[in-house]
């Protein structure tokens, strides 16, 4: 990312807030149950969130054939002790399903070998993939999540002058930082567990790429904002999201 680690914290908050608003309509979207400060022995101080993602219409066709519409209702708990974060995602329908995302943000160009301190056994099965925000994707999940369509080889921020992002930009850009994400998924279901794992990993990959592309595409909207201002905007956005879902639920009841 063509940001400092400090800038990315604001960029991420803004991106999450805006994408949640874009993807919440009708009875689908994001419901924020909790958003509060926390402190514990593992992470220290940070922000804890609990959310429900209602993504029924985004279920792949093969999954919709044997699972009910609430199969893609996901529950997420997240501990954001920036620059370290952890998210745990569960699905009430698939009770044994577990997806964990651990992130460490570092001021480098993506070549650190073992940021998460994995054991030799863990390293032997780890698969490494680098996502370049200057690239784009056209697969199923990219379409479902929503592609921004920005061509960063032609883009330059008016406020910062950063960009365009040409080949090899990671080695020439200053500032530059990387979000190192360790994704662990377990879906121990005979017959379709591996297919479910692969589908959700593909979905997470598409989400990682598009959300981080949006961070840079929207730089002139968030650059210069403080964490304090973002927390206030976040609270307003959380309330707005929940009001949208409540209104949609009341409309459904009236129709019924």
Looking at residue 253, its pLDDT comes to 57
**What's the pLDDT tens digit per position in 36-47?**
999 999 999 999
Taking 70 as the threshold, does the pLDDT of residue 251 lie above it? no
Looking at residue 130, its pLDDT comes to 95
Looking at residue 252, its pLDDT comes to 59
Between 9 and 61, residue with greater pLDDT: 9
239: tokens are 């309330």
User: Is residue 74 within 8 Å of residue 63, measured between CB atoms?
Assistant: no
Taking 60 as the threshold, does the pLDDT of residue 20 lie above it? yes
Looking at residue 26, its pLDDT comes to 81
Nearest to 101 by CA among 205, 42, 184: 184
**What's the pLDDT tens digit per position in 188-219?**
988 888 888 888 898 899 899 999 999 999 99
Taking 90 as the threshold, does the pLDDT of residue 5 lie above it? yes
As to burial, measured by CB atoms within 10 angstroms (0-12 exposed, 13-18 middle, 19+ buried), residue 80 is buried
pTM exceeds cut of 0.85: yes
**What's the pLDDT tens digit per position in 164-180?**
999 999 999 999 999 99
- The band of 71, judged by pLDDT with boundaries at 50, 70 and 90, is confident
**What's the pLDDT tens digit per position in 109-157?**
999 999 999 999 999 999 999 999 999 877 767 777 777 778 999 999 9
**What's the pLDDT tens digit per position in 216-240?**
999 999 999 999 999 999 999 999 9
Alpha helices by DSSP H, 134-192: 140-145
As a whole number of angstroms, the distance between CA 66 and CA 188 comes to 17
As a whole number of angstroms, the distance between CA 128 and CA 24 comes to 32
Looking at residue 200, its pLDDT comes to 87
């Amino acid at each position: 990312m063509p940001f400092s680690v400090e800038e990315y914290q604001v960029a991420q908050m803004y991106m999450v807030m805006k994408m949640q608003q874009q993807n919440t309509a009708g009875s689908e979207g994001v419901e924020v149950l909790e958003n509060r400060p926390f402190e514990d022995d593992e992470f220290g101080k940070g922000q804890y969130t609990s959310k429900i993602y209602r993504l029924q219409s985004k279920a792949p066709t093969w999954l919709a054939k044997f699972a009910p519409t609430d199969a893609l209702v996901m529950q997420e708990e997240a501990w954001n002790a920036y620059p370290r974060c952890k998210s745990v995602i569960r699905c009430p329908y698939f009770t044994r399903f577990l997806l964990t995302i651990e992130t460490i943000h570092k001021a480098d160009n993506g070549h650190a070998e073992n940021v998460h301190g994995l054991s030799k056994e863990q390293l032997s099965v780890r698969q490494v993939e680098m996502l370049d925000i200057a690239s784009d994707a056209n697969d199923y999940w990219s379409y479902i999540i929503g592609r921004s369509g920005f061509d960063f080889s032609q883009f330059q921020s008016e406020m910062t002058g950063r960009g365009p992002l040409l080949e090899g930009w990671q080695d020439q850009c200053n500032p530059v930082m990387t979000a190192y994400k360790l994704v662990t998924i377990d879906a121990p279901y005979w017959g379709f567990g591996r297919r479910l794992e692969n589908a959700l990993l593909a979905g997470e990959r598409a989400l990682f790429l598009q959300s981080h592309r949006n961070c840079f595409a929207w730089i002139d909207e968030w650059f210069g904002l403080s964490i304090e201002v973002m927390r206030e905007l976040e609270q307003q956005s959380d309330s707005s999201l929940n009001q949208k879902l409540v209104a949609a639920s009341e409309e459904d009841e009236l129709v019924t």
